[in-house]
A and B are shown apart, each in its own frame.
Chain A
Amino acid sequence: MKKLFFALCVLLLPLSIFAQAESENDGNSVTVYAYDVFTGEWGAGPELIPLFEEETGIKVNLITAGGATEMLSRVIAEGEGTEADVVLGISDDMADKAYDADIFAPYESKYLSEIDDELEFDKEHRLLPFDWGAYAFVFDTESGITPPGSLGDLTKSEYKDNLILVDPRTSDVGLGLLLWSHEVFGDEYLSWWKEVSKNALTIADGWSSAYGLFTEGEAPIVLSYTTSPVYHVMNENSTRYKALVFPEGHHGTIEGIGISKYAKNRENAEAFVDFILSEGQATMAVKNSMYPANGNTELPDAYEYAPLPEKLLRTTDEEMAAKDDMLDSWAEAMI
């Protein structure tokens, strides 16, 4: 039986390779490194790439290396030899590593004028913002408990075991909460964590498992984004889940796109960036479950359920530099 399988394997291997092989086009192309959120079957990539190719006649060679960090680490390691013309998905919270490695060249896109200055996290425009989001606690309105009104409220005893958090050591979202707590409580952030962790049902390894536990009804409050309810409105026609807006503000995360310093197709790369910052905006926002960076973007009605934070807290340069030490202190305090 195994021999049969073996024969089958050998027969099928070349078949499947040819089935997927695309005609290589070296003449007019652009190589885009993107995080898996974009390239995945349900991401914005499969919708936007054919559109871009059709409009411009430029062939896109799309490469992913997993999440944003894996991608950044790959581009940095490849250095001058990188094939990337464009890199998509570097957030402001990790941008310092990209600046240190000096891998991006500035690009003054004409669409920058349509983007809110506050979102331009890199004033040198090596990285240009394409979407942004704000971390928030999402609340199950059918749980019958009173929604908390601030980060401080979450430490109240009534929320014992009603809270799902995310570990800052293993997740960007968790890291976002760590920065958020620091922006709100200053040097007292670790005492807030100690209190709030008593109420946490669990501190999950990543957003995926945390949100999965939440929709399974394990706890009525979860760390996520202000935009999270949009999915439920658009796909499940449900307004059950609500993002809570806290008056002290929300930590924002801005995602950027940049052109490699070593790009071999600079012009095509510029065309791609422009496309993402203009026509691609609505699709990017909906598929990534974020807000568009370009203010002229028309969004589906479901975005009414993605409340804008009253105050957006941003990572300061000092915070950025202290990030790794903060993680160490967090680990020391919690374990």
Chain B
Amino acid sequence: MIGGKAKIFYLKLSLFALLLLLFLFIIPLSMTLSRALTSAGDVFSSAYTYRVLSFTLFESFLSALISVLLSLPFAYFWSHHKFFMRSFVLSLSTLSFTIPSILVVLGFVIFYGRSGVLSDVLSQLLGREVKVKVLYSFFAIIFAHVYLNLPVAFNLIANGWEKIDPIYEESSYSLGRGKMRTFISVTLPMLKKEILSAFILIFFFCFTSFSIVLVLGGSPKFSTLEVEIYRRVHVSLELDEASAFALFNFLVTLVILLVSGKIGRMGREKRMAGGMAKLEKLEGKKKLVAIALVLLMLLFILPPLLSIPYRSLVDRNGEFSLSSWEKIFSRSQMSVSIVNSLLIALSAALFSAYLGETLALFSARTGSRIVPLFATLPLATGSATLGLGMNIVQRSLMPQSLVASYLMVTLMHLMITIPFSIRTILPGAALLGEEKTLSSYTLGKSYFTTFASIEHPLLSSYRRKAFLFAFALSLGEVNATMTLSSGKVTTLPVLLYNLIGSYDYQGASALGTVLLLLAFMVFFILGAGRKGKADVT
């Protein structure tokens, strides 16, 4: 363990992030929760609340579990082999984060719907009418949640697995243990932090999901707690009751986070820093496996995504037309909103990744359990509650001006993405570099030099993942932007919702395509910029 002075250094390093978190999250939340006390009784005593809660817990747990399990074989292959499209597929998988939830639903319907592309193709192939029955069921909820979240588990676990020195597994084999036993008793414990991070992120993402649950579930029997909060904030305008639900949600979340923190500390850390699996070049049969896995992953990721550009070009009657593209690009707001979207997403993601790094290091080096807990709360709290709190802050602190609107939106995006950043970087901060850090201190290097020359470069691959998630999330964010910008900051998703409001789904698909292209471009540039450097982390 590092000494007290070094701990103070990490506190100073993360001070900005800590203060920001306090300002952005804890103040608005406490303002919201303070209203809760008047009507909390009804919420806590209603059987209905507990029915909804138990469903919410169940679907979140199942979605997270399946996402993590399914990602394991892919993460294994990706972290051990070198092949064409390897990092491309990893980055591509995060694209689904950039599309607002209404387009996720639409993408699913266009492809998997009763009269969707898949039904059409199967009907053609089989020569009779086939109506695919995938959607509007409990299965569809889990399917869509796994679709959106598998990339989180895939990216986090693959990244961690790359850094496991094969020596541990080899020594287990030499003791005569089989592959399965070695995986369970040696490999899995070393991946515990990554798996837990992914599980928590996915769990809370699904915990606060409600559009997908309602539309694709097909029955109000499938309702999450967020539905009830949303109802009170956005439909019936009972803010005290909304706060009571938020308080309830908050307590449940806290319990889950505390339990998961406990699990995270169980068992010994077996991994040493600095190890690194060698990426194997593929030969013979393994090449086929690689092709099969890449195809499988693409087949999973692409159909709902590609449905969106498809619909922007081809209407429901199968007629090709560029008219929706002409329509959106004839607008002066279009270029402004592209610039806005890029600017906000880039700044939010950059800050998110760097602040997430300082928070993760602070937490890892000082053993603080509270920091990651608090940094995850914005995700677990849900957008309805957050919006409520932020509105209070905005009213009481911010003047009405364009600059304030930009600042507010960017800060809100920062807060929404920080849980992803810290959870992505935390495993790296905990496992990489503490030895090197200590030896650097022994050599008389200053704390900051050590941070800048050892820890910061060691965490680069984690930071990259954090940046990708944050960028994708921010690019597609719409609710906070609409509420906080006072209509002064127009981003692409805001335009997209305007279009849908005026019945134009094809135009909205064209805008969704622009969003995907922007994200794709940024990921591509980032990937190309990295190619020159050897990946030595």
A positions within 8 Å CB-CB of B: 1-2, 5-6, 8-9, 12-13, 16-17, 19-21, 36-37, 39-43, 62-67, 69-70, 72-74, 77-78, 83, 94, 97, 167-172, 175, 197, 200-206, 208-213, 215-219, 228, 231-232, 235, 287, 289, 323-324, 327-328, 331-332, 334-335
> Could you list 15 further interchain pairs (A-B, Cβ under 8 angstroms) beyond the known A20-B402, A209-B102?
A16-B339, A41-B331, A65-B483, A69-B237, A74-B395, A83-B400, A169-B228, A202-B217, A203-B214, A209-B105, A228-B503, A235-B503, A323-B236, A332-B48, A334-B220
B333 within 8 A of A: yes
The contact size tier of chain B is: 35 or more
B263 within 8 A of A: no
Contact: B109 with A208, CB < 8 Å? no
B77 within 8 A of A: no
Contact: A40 with B501, CB < 8 Å? yes
Q: How far is the CB of A278 from chain B (nearest CB, A)?
A: 23
| Complex-state Cα separation, A43 to B234, whole angstroms | 21
Chain A's closest residue to B113 (CB) is: A218
Specify which of B106, B238, B333, B403 is in contact with A216 (CB 8 Å cutoff): B106
Q: How far is the CB of A253 from chain B (nearest CB, A)?
A: 14
Chain A's closest residue to B335 (CB) is: A19
| Complex-state Cα separation, A188 to B120, whole angstroms | 41
Contact: A213 with B499, CB < 8 Å? no
Q: Chain B contacts of A2 at CB under 8 A?
A: 350, 467, 526
Contact: B346 with A17, CB < 8 Å? no
Specify which of A5, A171, A324 is in contact with B350 (CB 8 Å cutoff): A5
In the complex where A36-B497, A170-B227 touch, is A63 in contact with B343 (Cβ < 8 A)? no
Contact: A231 with B110, CB < 8 Å? no
Contact: B48 with A335, CB < 8 Å? yes
Contact: B236 with A324, CB < 8 Å? yes
Chain B's closest residue to A65 (CB) is: B483
Chain A's closest residue to B410 (CB) is: A13
Contact: A19 with B235, CB < 8 Å? no
Q: Chain B contacts of A203 at CB under 8 A?
A: 214, 218-220
Contact: B498 with A40, CB < 8 Å? yes
Contact: A175 with B235, CB < 8 Å? yes
Q: Chain B contacts of A94 at CB under 8 A?
A: 237
- Stretch of B17-25, B64-72, B252-260, B485-493 at the chain-chain interface: B485-493
Specify which of B230, B238, B498 is in contact with A43 (CB 8 Å cutoff): B498
Q: How far is the CB of B387 from chain A (nearest CB, A)?
A: 8
| Complex-state Cα separation, A72 to B249, whole angstroms | 25
Contact: B116 with A216, CB < 8 Å? yes
Contact: B336 with A231, CB < 8 Å? no
B196 within 8 A of A: no
Contact: A170 with B221, CB < 8 Å? no
Specify which of B110, B347, B486 is in contact with A9 (CB 8 Å cutoff): B347
Q: Chain B contacts of A12 at CB under 8 A?
A: 339, 343
Specify which of A8, A19, A69 is in contact with B336 (CB 8 Å cutoff): A19
Chain B's closest residue to A82 (CB) is: B395
In the complex where A327-B231, A335-B51 touch, is A208 in contact with B214 (Cβ < 8 A)? no
B172 within 8 A of A: no
Chain A's closest residue to B47 (CB) is: A332
Chain A's closest residue to B353 (CB) is: A2
Per CB-CB distance, the 10 closest pairs between chain A and chain B, nearest first, are A1-B529, A40-B498, A64-B487, A217-B115, A202-B218, A205-B214, A231-B503, A169-B231, A66-B482, A42-B502
Contact: A67 with B234, CB < 8 Å? yes
| Complex-state Cα separation, A21 to B502, whole angstroms | 27
Q: Chain A contacts of B135 at CB under 8 A?
A: 202, 218
Specify which of A42, A215, A335 is in contact with B221 (CB 8 Å cutoff): A335
Q: Chain B contacts of A167 at CB under 8 A?
A: 214, 220, 227
Q: How far is the CB of A227 from chain B (nearest CB, A)?
A: 10
- Enumerate 13 A-B pairs (CB-CB under 8 Å) in ascending A order: A8-B346, A13-B343, A41-B495, A62-B487, A69-B237, A74-B391, A77-B395, A169-B230, A169-B231, A205-B210, A213-B105, A216-B113, A334-B221
Q: Chain A contacts of B336 at CB under 8 A?
A: 16, 19-20
Q: Chain B contacts of A204 at CB under 8 A?
A: 214-215
B422 within 8 A of A: no
Chain B's closest residue to A96 (CB) is: B237
Chain B's closest residue to A328 (CB) is: B48
Contact: B239 with A212, CB < 8 Å? no
Q: Chain B contacts of A323 at CB under 8 A?
A: 236
Chain A's closest residue to B508 (CB) is: A212
Chain B's closest residue to A73 (CB) is: B237
| Complex-state Cα separation, A70 to B503, whole angstroms | 22
B7 within 8 A of A: no
Chain B's closest residue to A72 (CB) is: B237
B52 within 8 A of A: yes
Give residues of chain B (167-215) contacting chain A, Cβ–Cβ below 8 Å. 210-211, 214-215
Q: How far is the CB of B377 from chain A (nearest CB, A)?
A: 23
Specify which of A64, A205, A206, A289 is in contact with B503 (CB 8 Å cutoff): A289
In the complex where A16-B340, A64-B487, A202-B217 touch, is A287 in contact with B347 (Cβ < 8 A)? no
Q: Chain A contacts of B210 at CB under 8 A?
A: 170, 205
Q: How far is the CB of A165 from chain B (nearest CB, A)?
A: 9
Q: Chain A contacts of B110 at CB under 8 A?
A: 216
Contact: B136 with A202, CB < 8 Å? yes
B114 within 8 A of A: yes
Q: How far is the CB of A231 from chain B (nearest CB, A)?
A: 4
| Complex-state Cα separation, A209 to B110, whole angstroms | 12
Q: How far is the CB of A265 from chain B (nearest CB, A)?
A: 15
B504 within 8 A of A: yes
Q: Chain A contacts of B395 at CB under 8 A?
A: 74, 77-78
Q: Chain B contacts of A215 at CB under 8 A?
A: 316, 505
| Complex-state Cα separation, A219 to B235, whole angstroms | 26
Q: Chain A contacts of B406 at CB under 8 A?
A: 13, 17
